[in-house]
Amino acid sequence: EDQVTQSPEALRLQEGESSSLNCSYTVSGLRGLFWYRQDPGKGPEFLFTLYSAGEEKEKERLKATLTKKESFLHITAPKPEDSATYLCAVQAGSSASKIIFGSGTRLSIRP
């Protein structure tokens, strides 16, 4: 069965302290891996799509990378406004229609 696991569940950082969030996946035939940001009480906001191992995408302080088994979301010099839950999701060959989500990492950045 397709599965997505994110770690850590929660992460507290000081402003400016860089770190990485992990998303490991077990799927049959990855078609795409997606990163979303979700603020409390709101719907997920799309950040990145990665399609193949070795691919990287960047947006402001965020950089997403992909290997054959996992993806990382690197956060460089974060600011308090980066505090949110970051969700990883995959679209797999076994069911090309649905997108499967992990449980997310709650990121908190202290000023």
Q: Which residues bind other proteins (CB under 8 A)?
A: 4, 6, 31-32, 34, 36, 41-46, 49, 51, 87, 89, 91, 95-104
Residue closest to 21 by CA, chosen among 70, 81, 77, 68: 70
CB of 69 to other proteins, least distance (A): 19
CB of 31 to other proteins, least distance (A): 5
Q: What is the DSSP string of 10-59?
A: EEEEETT--EEEEEEEE-SSEEEEEEEEE-TTS--EEEEEE-STT-EEEE
| Nearer of residues 15 and 39 to other proteins, judged by Cβ | 39
| Nearer of residues 72 and 101 to other proteins, judged by Cβ | 101
